[in-house]
Amino acid sequence: MLGVIVLFFLSYALLWFNSREHITDLGIRLTRQRAKEFFIGFLLMALFCAINLLGQAYIKGIVFTINPEYKIYNALQGLWWTGKSAIFEELIFRGALLYILIKHMGIFKACLISAVAFGVYHWFSYGMIGGRLIPMIYVFLLTGATGWMFAFAFANTKSLFAPFGLHLGWILTSIVVFSDGPLGTQLLIAHGAEVELGGWATLVFFLFQAALIPALVTCYLMRKYPSDKTEV
């Protein structure tokens, strides 16, 4: 939590010294519209994540059962961990720096830079630096496309609530619901003799995450927020 607090004040200082703007210009004040954007993003990404993981589980021969030892306390811990992680990354990649880039470079270039930075960042967070090239490219494209989607959501809604909702919806579903992450076994326990995905299946799920989902969210944002209203 200390990292989030430090980032918050660094963002405040950056905005103030760069253009005498306030941290609230990042759209952090809760309004009915922003709450709606958060929940739409959250539910949408939770659905996409569930489709992705259940689809892979079906092909791998995996079934899920509810963890009988899972308690409300564990759920709150998972929510706290994923919430902190999402806020931390949103403040870095969709916060003051992206806000300033959009003002100076426009939405497309700024979001592209943010997406590239998000992809490279995951090389470090996944400990992939110096590893094999193909997995690095795979992770870069996957997380970079996600970074574009989050950045474009911030640029169009002029608020951190929408990208935070998108981000939290995915990682909460993946890590806390399906136990697919650094927290280990959470709500659901996977059973079955897992088999590797075939080449075609790997490609399909990769395109689902790296192309279809970002494309659908981007198209929705472009229709919902016309271009003449997207400048931050």
Beta bridge partners of 188: 66
| Spatial separation of the C-alpha atoms in residues 135 and 195, rounded to whole Å | 19
Check the CA dihedral 148-149-154-155 and report its sign: positive
Domain that holds residue 165: 2-229
| Spatial separation of the C-alpha atoms in residues 210 and 116, rounded to whole Å | 13
Taking a C-beta distance cutoff of 8 angstroms, is the pair 163, 91 a contact?
no
Query: Largest Cα–Cα distance of the chain, in whole Å?
Result: 58
| Spatial separation of the C-alpha atoms in residues 35 and 20, rounded to whole Å | 27
- Which two three-digit tokens encode residue 218? 């981007």
Taking a C-beta distance cutoff of 8 angstroms, is the pair 10, 134 a contact?
no
Per-residue pLDDT band at 23 (split at 50, 70, 90):
confident
Mean pLDDT value across residues 85-113: 93
Taking a C-beta distance cutoff of 8 angstroms, is the pair 64, 190 a contact?
yes
Helix H or strand E segment including 64: strand 63-66
- Residue 195 reports pLDDT greater than 80: no
| Spatial separation of the C-alpha atoms in residues 189 and 84, rounded to whole Å | 24
- In degrees, to the nearest 5, what angle opens at C-alpha 214 toward C-alphas 213 and 218? 120
Q: What is the pLDDT of residue 229?
A: 45
At 67, phi and psi to the nearest 5? -70, 115
Residue with tokens 């280990």, as numbered in its chain: 184
- Residue 50 reports pLDDT greater than 60: yes
Sequence-distant (6+) residues with CB within 8 A of 110 are 98, 101, 102, 104, 151, 155
Q: How many domains does the chain have?
A: 1
- pTM (global) more than 0.95: no
| Spatial separation of the C-alpha atoms in residues 202 and 139, rounded to whole Å | 13
- pLDDT tens by residue, 52-73: 999 999 998 899 999 999 999 9
- Residue 131 reports pLDDT greater than 90: no
